[in-house]
Amino acid sequence: MGRCFCPVLPSPQFGPMSESLLLPHCHTIVGFLSRGCCEEPVSDSTSILCGFGEVEREKNVHQSHSHLAMPITINDVPPCISQLLDNEESWDFNIFELEAITHKRPLVYLGLKVFSRFGVCEFLNCSETTLRAWFQVIEANYHSSNAYHNSTHAADVLHATAFFLGKERVKGSLDQLDEVAALIAATVHDVDHPGRTNSFLCNAGSELAVLYNDTAVLESHHTALAFQLTVKDTKCNIFKNIDRNHYRTLRQAIIDMVLATEMTKHFEHVNKFVNSINKPMAAEIEGSDCECNPAGKNFPENQILIKRMMIKCADVANPCRPLDLCIEWAGRISEEYFAQTDEEKRQGLPVVMPVFDRNTCSIPKSQISFIDYFITDMFDAWDAFAHLPALMQHLADNYKHWKTLDDLKCKSLRLPSDS
């Protein structure tokens, strides 16, 4: 294939943040390593914005959407990107190739393709122009300087959500409003993430932690900012043409799903799903000898549980991706946590994840612990509902990879001979 010219979309790194926008956040996917959310909150007024200092000066990630040029239309996507997106319905889709070819702007391209496939513009009665503007605003408010929580992670979660929505039992349980809400929630679920965890923000006495009473700090910020960015300008307001009741229902569903990604209620969400969805479904299937839709799963309260479980699984699906992708994600989240530990030491804050010290950390051990503690039971339950044999095979293969490294006392992502 000949060399592909890919137009460079505007980078989110334009100018320094104003103080009013220095509102950090983060979600802790290894919360069990934390030592409590707010053990030693700082009182120094100079640290009220989390004491990011050097980190935030390096980021310079915020930009007013009024300065953004419109992206190209979906019909004019360069052939190299279009060709790559032809495979976006596959679970093995390589999001890092899309990241590279779009110059770290994968969300707008993948988003336009996925939203078109699900008829989102038609459902919202909004133009593609408005949707393009919205995607660009949202992507511009992800921090491309974060190792992990950037727009590539958002695109990855959107991809996983769309994949799950295509599974027969999921599709049969939800209506179109649920689908649209899930796709929007996946897109915005980590917007403006600073690359620091909720525990860090609480310990640093950040404005966001104070604002949200040390409770679901980041997740509350992601949802609030997403709606603020959306409705502040009619050019990117994808909700401007739907009636008030539909908007309120859609908004509540989006908020509920994003808040479900906060990990302090992880086991509560999984247990509710197992008890309300999996167990009745298993009992009905056993009694009727058919895999028909279990009674009651379309009840609104059960639809909520399904949507929560879906976005939770999409958010932490890295261990269920093909090995090369799994390894890349493990390296990225480890680097982001190493950076937080470095910052905590510089600022004299409690080190909330002491295993993530870049000088001593065993990445294989951290991945094994994460899979054992959070992933296995949740994906067993989700697989029992959605039927995901390929994901479960990847999970088994990836776990074996980390165990092999750990048995060999290797602390890195791969054996030195494989690098």
Q: Which residues are catalytic?
A: 149
Q: 176 among the known binding-site residues?
A: no
Q: 394 among the known binding-site residues?
A: no
Q: 178 among the known binding-site residues?
A: no
Phi-psi map region of 227: left, alpha, beta (phi>0 left; psi -120 to 50 alpha): alpha
243, exposed or middle or buried, with CB in 10 Å at 0-12, 13-18, 19+?
A: exposed
Three-class HEC string of the chain = CCCCCCCCCCCCCCCCCCHHHCCCCCCCCCHHHCCCCCCCCCCCHHHCCCCCCHHHHHHCCCCCHHHCCCCCCHHHCCHHHHHHHCCCCCCCCCHHHHHHHCCCCHHHHHHHHHHHHCCHHHHHCCCHHHHHHHHHHHHHCCCCCCCCCCHHHHHHHHHHHHHHHCCHHHHCCCCHHHHHHHHHHHHHCCCCCCCCCHHHHHHHCCHHHHHCCCCCHHHHHHHHHHHHHHHCCHHHCCCCCCCHHHHHHHHHHHHHHHHCCCHHHHHHHHHHHHHHHHHHHHHHHHHHCCCCCCCCCCCHHHHHHHHHHHHHHHHCCHHHCCHHHHHHHHHHHHHHHHHHHHHHHHHCCCCCCCCCCCCCCCHHHHHHHHHHHHHHHHHHHHHHHHCCHHHHHHHHHHHHHHHHHHHCCCCCCCCHHHC
CA distance readout (Å), 122 to 37, 82, 113, 238, 365:
43, 22, 14, 11, 47
Q: 151 among the known binding-site residues?
A: yes
Q: 153 among the known binding-site residues?
A: yes
Contact 150, 142 (CB under 8 A): yes
Q: 215 among the known binding-site residues?
A: no
Q: 152 among the known binding-site residues?
A: yes
Question: How far, in Å, CA of 223 to CA of 220, rounded?
Answer: 5
Contact 199, 28 (CB under 8 A): yes
Q: 266 among the known binding-site residues?
A: no
Place of tokens 């511009």: 140
Q: 27 among the known binding-site residues?
A: no
Which amino acids are annotated as binding site for AMP, given as ranges? 149-153, 190, 315, 367
Which amino acids are annotated as binding site for Zn(2+), given as ranges? 153, 189-190, 315
Which amino acids are annotated as binding site, given as ranges? 149-153, 189-190, 315, 367
